[in-house]
């Protein structure tokens, strides 16, 4: 990097609070993926806790090492203390790899070893795709309005990081409310606790103690042992070979890894909005390399810069919190403590920390974009609500099937779709919005922000780009496909062509003066001409 010119201290007392927030986020992901692999895909503990979890820990250690150096470089460059970027297993992409790659292989072959091999092969290939984001990432960051990038993150934060843990709190209110109390007091209200004890630690500890007394926590030491990280080059090659023999799996991998490097780009923008500037290309390369390293050591699951930097920035953390998380996660993985922690810490005790991360991201976005662009942020959130509905509708059908209900139609069945429409549930529309929701949210947030700013050529360009992505299945489709002109693609073309052509023909006065809407707050406090300034 550059020669040291600023005395940046990696650790501060405030890293303790940030540590518990990021540790909880990573821990929950590891608990979910290990549980699904072990109990849904019937992978033996030797694969789950001996290969996958240690591999994930190696990926986290590698990425944290880079992001610690990057924080020191950023502090030197900006001449001030910065908060290191949070890093770990990508939550949305983790579910795609579980149920879009590993699951189908296991269900087709009943071979958990093969499913794992294909998983790490897919992880390695996906890491290469993610690293290629470094080529176009800086360009996308330069042309995309902040409202689009941050707005689509707000959608993820609202429905997946905030509302799901909040529901867990209300399902176990005695544990959840107690933990939430300390999060409200110490992290959201920012009042000190006695002895300035970290609020995140107190929240998790208090919830865990109550869970022990209520019999909702357990001490299971069966999985404790030594699980050193080992490279699995032969298994990874076997998985890659299977992928090339069955190339249809790439139709799942490529779109989701495009999603992953755009998620990294958006999260880097979120950090910049909070005051810390990092090079997006380096971050995308790091995430891709971390994913490939994790795959080599046994973990199929991609890594990424996490949502939530503004929350850790607000806590005035440095780099110590990510170093602490990496070391603790690694120790837990290599010594087999993950299964012990899974039984000890109830999700309801950790959930309030995730709610705080969600609320902080949304709050920071409101301060980071100009008031007129909040319409774009709101628009960018909407596709994620559809993604949430599709996830839960699928869960409902699976739940009914698991309790023995026979003859259930699958989601997408024409009669069920028609019946849902009669009940006001627009299945087909929500399905289209849910596929590639993070990209769809970004595109529509960018279109709305550019229209507000009178950058019509940019708005039209985003619409035409969306038409191209829709035609080949990157968005609004489950898999890639040959280019086709369906209704959604044509709709994007109509929007794009209008944005580019009409401003050339419109009366000048119509572009120079805004319309005042009665009884609506007017965030445009001047009469700035709405002309394309591209």
Domain ranges of the chain: 14-369, 376-398+412-507
Helix (H) or strand (E) holding 261: helix 250-273
- Sequence-separated (6 or more) residues with CB below 8 Å from residue 520: none
Q: What is the DSSP annotation of 35-96?
A: HHHHHTS---HHHIIIIIHHHHHHHHHHHHHHHHHHHHHHHHHHTS--PPPPEEE-HHHHHH
Is the pLDDT confidence value at 527 over 60?
Answer: no
Place of tokens 């869970």: 211
**What whole-number distance in Å separates Cα of residue 437 and Cα of residue 431?**
10
Is the pLDDT confidence value at 369 over 80?
Answer: yes
Q: Which of the four pLDDT bands, split at 50, 70 and 90, describes residue 533?
A: very low
Q: Taking the mean position of all CA atoms in its chain, how far away is CA 56?
A: 17
Query: Of all residues in the chain, what percent are helix, strand and coil, respectively (each to 5)?
Result: 70, 0, 25
Helix (H) or strand (E) holding 127: helix 112-131
Residue 304 is given by DSSP the state: E
Average pLDDT over residues 291-303: 94
Q: Which of the four pLDDT bands, split at 50, 70 and 90, describes residue 534?
A: very low
- Enumerate the β-bridge partners of residue 305: 87
Residue 177 is given by DSSP the state: H
Give me 447's structure tokens.
């279109």
Place of tokens 């910065």: 82
CA distance readout (Å), 420 to 400, 423, 427: 16, 5, 7
Rg (CA), the chain: 24
Q: Which of the four pLDDT bands, split at 50, 70 and 90, describes residue 211?
A: very high
When comparing pLDDT for 121 and 364, which is higher? 121
Q: What angle do CA 470, 471, 476 make, to 5 degrees?
A: 30
What are the φ and ψ backbone dihedral angles of 304, each rounded to 5 degrees? -160, 160
**What whole-number distance in Å separates Cα of residue 63 and Cα of residue 286?**
6
Quote the percentage of the chain above a pLDDT of 70. 94
Query: Which of 210, 191, 196 shows the shortest CA–CA distance to 349?
Result: 210
Give me 167's structure tokens.
């529901």
pLDDT of residue 116: 95
- Sequence-separated (6 or more) residues with CB below 8 Å from residue 235: 116, 117, 120, 298
Each residue of 434-493: pLDDT tens digit? Answer: 988 878 998 999 999 999 999 999 999 999 999 999 999 889 987 778 899 999 999 999
Which parts of 307-419 are beta strand (E)? Answer: none
When comparing pLDDT for 263 and 178, which is higher? 178
Place of tokens 């024409």: 414
Q: Hey, which of 21-35, 409-423, 445-459 has the most confident mean pLDDT?
A: 445-459
pLDDT of residue 445: 94
Q: Which of the four pLDDT bands, split at 50, 70 and 90, describes residue 395?
A: confident
Neighbours of 525 (CB within 10 A): 8
Q: Which of the four pLDDT bands, split at 50, 70 and 90, describes residue 7?
A: confident
**What whole-number distance in Å separates Cα of residue 216 and Cα of residue 205?**
14
Q: Which of the four pLDDT bands, split at 50, 70 and 90, describes residue 496?
A: very high
pLDDT of residue 66: 96
Each residue of 218-253: pLDDT tens digit? Answer: 887 777 788 899 999 999 999 999 988 887 677 667
Give me 229's structure tokens.
């990280």
Alpha helices, DSSP H only, in 274-319? 280-296, 309-314
Give me 244's structure tokens.
């090339």
**What whole-number distance in Å separates Cα of residue 443 and Cα of residue 347?**
34
Is the pLDDT confidence value at 158 over 50?
Answer: yes
Q: Which of the four pLDDT bands, split at 50, 70 and 90, describes residue 429?
A: very high
**What whole-number distance in Å separates Cα of residue 104 and Cα of residue 106?**
5
Among 17-21, 162-166, 332-336, the minimum mean pLDDT is found in 17-21
* SS3 of residue 450 by DSSP: helix
Place of tokens 């580019």: 500
pLDDT of residue 16: 84
Q: What angle do CA 280, 281, 285 make, to 5 degrees?
A: 120
**What whole-number distance in Å separates Cα of residue 51 and Cα of residue 427?**
39
What are the φ and ψ backbone dihedral angles of 305, each rounded to 5 degrees? -65, 130
Phi-psi sector, 316: left (phi>0), alpha (psi -120 to 50), beta? left
pLDDT of residue 456: 94
Average pLDDT over residues 69-98: 86
For helices 15-39 and 53-78, the axis angle rounded to 10 degrees is: 150
- Enumerate the β-bridge partners of residue 88: 304
Query: What integer best gives the mean pLDDT of the chain?
Result: 86
Give me 479's structure tokens.
């898999």
Is the pLDDT confidence value at 187 over 50?
Answer: yes
């Amino acid at each position: 990097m550059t020669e040291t010119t600023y005395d940046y201290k990696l650790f501060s007392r405030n890293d303790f609070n940030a540590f518990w927030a990021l540790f909880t986020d990573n821990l929950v992901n590891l608990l979910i993926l290990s549980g699904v692999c072990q109990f849904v895909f019937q992978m033996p503990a030797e694969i789950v806790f001996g290969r996958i979890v240690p591999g994930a820990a190696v990926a986290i250690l590698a990425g944290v090492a880079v992001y610690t150096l990057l924080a020191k470089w950023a502090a030197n460059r900006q001449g001030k203390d910065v908060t290191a970027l949070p890093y770990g297993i990508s939550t949305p992409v983790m579910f795609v790899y579980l149920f879009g790659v590993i699951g189908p292989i296991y269900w087709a072959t009943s071979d958990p070893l093969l499913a794992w091999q294909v998983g790490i092969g897919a992880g390695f290939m996906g890491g290469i795709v993610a690293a290629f984001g470094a080529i176009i990432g800086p360009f996308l960051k330069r042309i995309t309005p902040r409202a689009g990038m941050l707005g689509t993150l707000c959608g993820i934060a609202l429905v997946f990081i905030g509302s799901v843990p909040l529901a867990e709190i209300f399902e176990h209110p005695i544990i959840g409310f107690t933990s939430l109390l300390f999060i409200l007091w110490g992290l959201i209200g920012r009042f000190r606790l006695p002895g300035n004890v970290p609020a995140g630690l107190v929240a998790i500890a208090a919830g865990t103690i109550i869970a022990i007394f209520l019999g909702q926590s357990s001490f299971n030491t069966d999985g404790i042992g030594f699980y050193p990280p080992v490279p699995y080059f032969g298994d990874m090659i076997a998985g890659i070979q299977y992928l090339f023999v069955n190339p249809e799996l790439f139709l799942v991998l490529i779109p989701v890894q495009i999603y992953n490097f755009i998620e990294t780009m958006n999260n880097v923008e979120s950090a910049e909005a909070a005051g810390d500037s990092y090079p997006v290309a380096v971050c995308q390369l790091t995430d891709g390399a971390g994913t490939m390293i994790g795959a080599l050591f046994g973990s199929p699951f991609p890594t990424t810069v996490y949502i939530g930097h503004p929350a850790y920035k607000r806590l005035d953390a440095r780099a110590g919190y990510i170093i602490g998380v990496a070391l603790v996660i690694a120790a837990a993985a290599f010594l087999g403590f993950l299964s012990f922690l899974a039984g000890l810490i109830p999700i309801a005790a950790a959930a309030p920390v995730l709610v705080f991360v969600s609320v902080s991201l949304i709050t920071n976005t409101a301060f980071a974009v100009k008031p007129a662009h909040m319409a774009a942020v709101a628009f960018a959130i909407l596709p994620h609500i559809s993604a949430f509905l599709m996830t839960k509708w699928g869960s409902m059908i699976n739940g009914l099937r698991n309790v023995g209900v026979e003859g259930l139609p699958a989601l997408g069945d024409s009669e069920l779709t028609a019946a849902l429409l009669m009940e006001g549930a627009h299945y087909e529309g929500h399905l289209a919005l849910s596929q590639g929701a993070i990209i769809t949210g970004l595109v529509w947030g960018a279109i709305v922000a550019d229209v507000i700013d009178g950058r019509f050529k940019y708005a039209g360009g985003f619409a035409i780009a969306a038409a191209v992505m829709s035609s080949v299945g990157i968005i609004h489709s489950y898999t890639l496909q040959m280019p086709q002109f369906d209704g959604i693609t044509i709709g994007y073309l109509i929007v794009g062509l209008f944005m580019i052509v009409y401003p050339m023909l419109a009366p000048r006065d119509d572009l120079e003066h805004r319309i005042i809407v009665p009884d609506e707050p007017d965030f445009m406090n001047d009469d700035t001409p709405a002309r394309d300034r591209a």
